[in-house]
Chain A
Amino acid sequence: MTRVQLVDISKRYGPTAAVEHFNADIADGEFVTLLGPSGCGKTTTLRMVAGLVDPSGGVIRFDGQPMNAVPSHKRNIGLAFQSHALFPHLTVARNVAFGLEVKGTPKAETERRVAEMLEMVELGDYANRMPAQLSGGQQQRVALARMLATDPRVLLFDEPLSALDRNLRDSLKYSILELQRRTRKTAIYVTHDQSEAFAISDRIFVMNEGRIEQAGSQLDIYLRPQTEFVANFVGDNNGIPGEVTGLVAPGGEGEPRLVDLVAGGIRMRGLDPGNVRPGDKVVAFVRPENIEVLANGHVADAPNIVRGRVDQIVFEGPTVRLTVDVDGTPLKVISGGLERLTLLDKEQREILLRLQDVTVVPDDPAVAA
């Protein structure tokens, strides 16, 4: 129903920039997540969309209309807070009715809508309770019902689950997604929890220090990180500085372009970031779960296949975590499946590894500094 555009949005607090040059074009009905460490400007961005913070620069548009001058209460948005922010002096039903009441909705209509919303979040029997009499999960569900009651154009979530315990978080995040899918509303969801972001988003914006580092689908972000920050922040990773040795001729139409490089003394072939030449300094990233332990008998003389000595073994149940020393470069390796059990007696022994899905990121001296 509503396309949300943020065009070159910035927010400065005195000399510090909370958000800089934020550009996003969010399609009608899309579920977008802003992911990043604490203090990177996620909340500020969201609050600018909500109209609670005035941007220092840039334009926010809903369906093409500039929204900057429209006050918060006329934007028709729904905002879910980290603390549920239910009004403590009103019953559950009056909380849900609030948005309808202030808009002067007829009483009968309001009551019908409140009952419908409470049914939807399965709290029909709690209408006359006070918020303090509900559990944390129930409170957050009432907050969702309250936010949806006014049929907002855009749903905004600011870490709505971070105050809840893990199990509740897991179930509620799918409830939120289901609500959004059912209502087909555009949603912007802020979180610092990557598993949350990966579970529910159509698209993830990874933010750092007020800027977008990378935007894309889960697979883009996870498998093709474009900056060192994204590679390190999302998931676990081995980052190995090295140097490009050559570009590999593309294998065919649609095949990924590859480069050869040497990093930490290891010959590797990885995904071409598109802007490197032979001799460039780069960082190669390979995720611990993408390192395969090879059975004996393989030959080590091929790119991405290395021999190393097992320094440490940690048995974690479904996985085994190894630290492998490859010519002085420590590599984190995670092994699952049945073969993980065969590794348990390999401490201080040599094993053969295959590094898969190596990604390459230019070594930006500015970032390093």
Chain B
Amino acid sequence: MASMTVDVSPHAGRGSGPRWFWNALAHGYVWAWMAIFALPFLATLIYSLRTPDGVWTFSYYQYVFGSFRENLLLSFETTLITIVINLLIAIPAAYAIVRYPIPGKSFILSTLNLSLYTPAAVMGVSLVIAYAFLFRIPQTMIGLIGAYVVGTFPLMLVPIIVALRDLPMVFEEAARTLGATRMQTFWRVELPLLGPGISAGILLTFVIIFNEFLVTLFIAGPGLTTAALRVYNLARTAGFQPSTAALATTMQLVSFTVVLLFFHFFGSRYLKGTYLI
């Protein structure tokens, strides 16, 4: 990508205005958008740090670790369970899709990705009906996790497929000729080399499930209010409260930290063609 940074301004050589002006405009435009991206977060952050009288305070964050604690813990719990199940499902699936001769591969892939293209509210309403009257698991943790898994494992699948396709067969072949069984080859060679792709899948699952509120709104029962759903409920019923802002800020900070860590270790390579960039 760095090689693409050839300076070919469409405005270079144009009579009106010097080159630096157009450059400044271009950079200014991008910075303006970055400000817009960060604006809602910053506004929420500021709001969470001030009393109605305009005094700066951290006191609203006591709610985050007080009455919102349960919601946050539930969010972490469901996110973690979803990630584990996604890994158990997506790694073998990706392996099968890339390395095995399977009939109707693209059809299967489309079927697996179906939930990715289903609007969240449609998924919510279809699941709430199916859970209540078909599976008889209304408002349960199992139902919630099932919805999370089906909604996000394709996002785990894609980066792993990309990583596996990028991984030359010679490493597997070298391992095999050195005497490694299929299992040993997988654990010792392929899994470590798929690390970035798998991490990308974990990142995507985390960012989405941790912040998911819409499907949850449809199918979660009283005891299953995740932190994101709590934000939504409070915003709907209690209006714009600093304590809600504190929870929303915490959620975004956690998400952003996870993203930063990922970008630091792996860059954006394995996120191409997925939900994030």
A binding-site residues for B, Cβ under 8 Å: 50-52, 71-79, 81, 83, 85, 87-89, 98-99, 101-103, 146-147, 150, 156
Contacts and interface: CB of A to CB of B under 8 A. Distances in A.
Contacts of A101: 188
B250 to A, nearest CB: 35
B193 A85 contact: no
Contact of A81 (B174, B179, B188): B174
A146 B171 CA distance: 13
19 contacts: A50-B177, A51-B177, A52-B177, A73-B177, A73-B178, A76-B179, A78-B177, A78-B178, A83-B168, A85-B170, A87-B175, A87-B189, A89-B193, A98-B175, A99-B178, A101-B188, A102-B179, A102-B180, A102-B181
B192 A89 contact: yes
A85 B171 contact: yes
B170 to A, nearest CB: 4
A308 B206 CA distance: 82
Contacts of A72: 173, 176-177
Given A73-B176, A85-B170, 20 more contacts: A51-B177, A73-B178, A73-B179, A73-B181, A74-B179, A75-B177, A81-B173, A81-B174, A85-B171, A85-B173, A85-B174, A87-B171, A87-B174, A87-B175, A88-B193, A89-B192, A89-B193, A98-B175, A102-B178, A102-B180
A274 to B, nearest CB: 41
Contacts of B176: 51-52, 71-73
A98 B177 contact: no
B184 interface: yes
A113 to B, nearest CB: 13
A230 B173 CA distance: 32
B74 to A, nearest CB: 36
A156 to B, nearest CB: 8
A86 to B, nearest CB: 8
A98 B180 contact: yes
A72 B176 CA distance: 6
A129 B129 CA distance: 59
A102 B177 contact: no
A83 B171 CA distance: 10
A89 B210 CA distance: 31
**Closest CB pairs A-B (n = 7):** A99-B178, A85-B170, A102-B180, A79-B177, A85-B174, A72-B176, A89-B192
Contacts of B171: 85, 87
A103 B180 CA distance: 7
B3 to A, nearest CB: 21
A190 B168 CA distance: 20
Nearest to A52: B173
A154 to B, nearest CB: 10
A79 B180 contact: no
User: Range of interface residues on chain B?
Assistant: 10 to 19
Interface of B: 168, 170-171, 173-181, 184, 188-189, 192-193, 195
A99 B170 CA distance: 15
A253 B192 CA distance: 67
B193 A73 contact: no
B58 to A, nearest CB: 43
B178 to A, nearest CB: 4
Contacts of A79: 173-174, 177
Contacts of B193: 87-89
A83 to B, nearest CB: 6
A129 B1 CA distance: 29
Contacts of A146: 178
A81 B170 CA distance: 8
Contacts of B175: 87, 98, 102
A77 B177 contact: yes
A219 to B, nearest CB: 33
B53 to A, nearest CB: 57
Contacts of A150: 178-179
B191 to A, nearest CB: 10
Nearest to A103: B179
Given A88-B193, A89-B193, A83 B179 contact: no
Contacts of A85: 168, 170-171, 173-174
A89 to B, nearest CB: 5
A83 B174 CA distance: 11
Contact of B178 (A52, A71, A98, A156): A98
A182 B184 CA distance: 31
A99 B178 CA distance: 5
A102 B174 contact: no
A81 B193 CA distance: 19
Contacts of A88: 193
A156 B173 CA distance: 13
A87 to B, nearest CB: 6
Contacts of A50: 173, 177
Contacts of B192: 89
A102 B184 contact: yes
A76 B176 CA distance: 10
A285 to B, nearest CB: 39
- Most chain A C-beta atoms within 10 Å of own C-beta, residue among B168, B178, B188: B178
Interface centre among B174, B177, B193, B195 (most CB of A within 10 A): B177
Contacts of A89: 192-193, 195
B189 to A, nearest CB: 6
